[in-house]
Amino acid sequence: MCAVNRVGFEHGDVVHEDVNMPGPEGAGLEFWGGSFIADPFGRIVAKASHDREETLYAELDPAQVEITRQHWPFLRDRRIDAYEGVTKRFLL
């Protein structure tokens, strides 16, 4: 799994759900970085810093992913009947 987060500060007004919230001089959003790559067991195999831009690379073992899927069959145990409401929310 890869979790991505920007780093740095973006100047400007904050716009959220079509509502413009102008702020004082220097307004904007701060991003905290800390992107990471984790193996199937949640162990962090690569992590970016919180104070500079970086590109992460990691070697992942496809065999380990397959073995994890076989021994931890999450898809087998899912409750498909519980998804019906979720799919209806996005139909136009």
pLDDT at 35: 96
pLDDT at 10: 83
The pTM assigned to this predicted structure is 0.62
* Sequence-distant contacts of 62-71: CB under 8 A, at least 24 apart: 64/39, 64/40, 65/40, 68/40, 68/41, 69/40
Length of the chain equals 92
Helix (H, G, I), strand (E, B) or coil at 38: strand
- Smallest CA-to-CA distance from 4 within 45, 55, 42 is with 55
Tens digits of pLDDT across the chain (92 residues): 899 999 988 877 666 665 555 555 557 788 899 999 999 888 999 999 999 999 999 998 999 989 988 888 777 888 888 877 776 765 55
pLDDT at 74: 78
